[in-house]
């Protein structure tokens, strides 16, 4: 998978709206399993430990996405 890395994203789903927000954490992994392991650990944390200012009824999860390495592809 030359030129690709696994990236950790934060996904927040607002229960009052049918919207889901995604935010890139800035963390990348060369190994899928390392990313999946961290995502599972962070997702299991209580909402108060991982988010401030977010409705406590919101659903928060961390997910891994395969993406190009930063600055690998130049146009």
Give this prediction's pTM. Answer: 0.82
Q: Tell me the pLDDT tens digit for each residue of 14-64.
A: 887 778 889 999 999 999 999 999 999 999 998 878 777 877 788 899 999
E strand intervals along 1-75: 4-13, 20-29, 59-68
Domain extent listing, the chain: 4-57
> CB neighbours of 46 closer than 8 A, spacing ≥ 6?
none
38-57 CB burial, b ≥16 within 10 A, e <16: bbeebeeeeeeeeeeeeeee
Alpha-carbon distance of 34 to 36, in angstroms, equals 6
Give pLDDT, residue 26. Answer: 93
User: Would you state the pLDDT for residue 6?
Assistant: 97
DSSP label of 72: T
**Res 74: pLDDT:** 62
């Amino acid at each position: 998978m030359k030129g690709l890395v696994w990236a950790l994203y934060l996904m927040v789903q607002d229960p009052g709206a049918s919207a889901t927000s995604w935010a890139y954490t800035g963390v990348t992994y060369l190994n899928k399993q390392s990313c999946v392991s961290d995502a599972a650990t962070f997702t299991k944390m209580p909402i108060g430990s991982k988010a401030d200012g977010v409705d406590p009824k919101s659903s928060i999860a961390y997910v891994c996405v395969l993406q190009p390495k930063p600055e690998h592809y130049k146009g």
